């Protein structure tokens, strides 16, 4: 999944971006509100982490602009402003959650997973299509309820991208877009390599190849 981090503090931003990448997110980082709006207008993201105290256009203005143009992207506010009025303005303005600094990264990741579940209309914490299941908290997968298999970060990201949209065909560029952030090197055969690794761990029929188009997992098998 691809996340946009909007944070002007270089130390905090660097730490959060690193932790997000360690947690298998493709994480891009911008440092002001206007750049955030421009980026969100031309690049697909699954979730935004938004600081409020930004230079120029502050976080609440960014939030208002996104919702005014009908953008429903899941959004968590991360800020040192912990007063009740700020929390109410953020949540009533369209944020999906509000996390006060300082916070533990484990809690932020758990809140991100919860927001993504709610936006997808899913109550269960585990993704699945009736054949393969995937636990975003542990990065473990299982086939037909069998033994759990530990996935690498990249393997997890690819399988998650497919299971979020079972039945949909994702092209190579769409998968790369969900796995790699800005500045991360992408080998020419990276997607094929990851799919081969997943098939070795979970079976050859889990991910289907649609020749010349892309890859998919079956819907509600």
Domains of the chain in start order, with CATH, are: 2-120 (3.40.50.2300), 127-216 (1.10.10.10)
pLDDT in tens, 101-152: 999 999 999 999 999 888 877 666 788 888 999 999 899 999 988 899 999 9
With CA atoms as reference, report the closest residue to 207 among 130, 125, 132, 120.
Answer: 132
Two tokens, residue 171: 């092209």
- State pTM to two decimals: 0.80
With CA atoms as reference, report the closest residue to 207 among 141, 146, 117, 150.
Answer: 141
Q: Which residue has the tokens 């968590």?
A: 76
pLDDT in tens, 24-53: 899 999 999 999 999 999 998 999 999 999
């Amino acid at each position: 999944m691809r996340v946009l981090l909007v944070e002007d503090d270089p130390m905090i931003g660097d730490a959060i971006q690193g932790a997000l990448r360690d947690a298998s997110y493709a994480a891009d980082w911008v440092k002001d509100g206007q750049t955030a709006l421009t980026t969100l207008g031309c690049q697909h993201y699954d979730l935004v982490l938004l600081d409020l105290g930004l230079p120029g256009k502050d976080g609440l203005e960014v939030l208002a602009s996104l919702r005014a143009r009908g953008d429903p992207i899941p959004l968590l506010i991360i800020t040192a402003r912990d007063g009740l009025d700020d929390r109410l303005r953020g949540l009533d303005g369209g944020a999906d959650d509000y996390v006060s600094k300082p916070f533990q990264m484990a809690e932020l990741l758990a809140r991100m997973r919860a927001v993504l579940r709610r936006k997808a209309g899913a109550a269960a914490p585990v993704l699945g299509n009736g054949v393969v299941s995937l636990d975003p908290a542990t990065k473990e997968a299982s086939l037909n309820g069998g033994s759990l298999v530990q996935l690498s970060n990249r393997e997890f990201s690819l399988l998650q991208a497919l299971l979020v949209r079972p039945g949909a065909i994702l092209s190579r560029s769409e998968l790369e877009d969900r796995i790699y952030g800005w500045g991360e090197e992408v080998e020419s055969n990276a997607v094929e390599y990851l799919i081969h690794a997943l098939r070795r761990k979970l079976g050859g029929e889990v991910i289907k190849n649609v020749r010349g188009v892309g890859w998919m997992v079956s819907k509600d098998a």
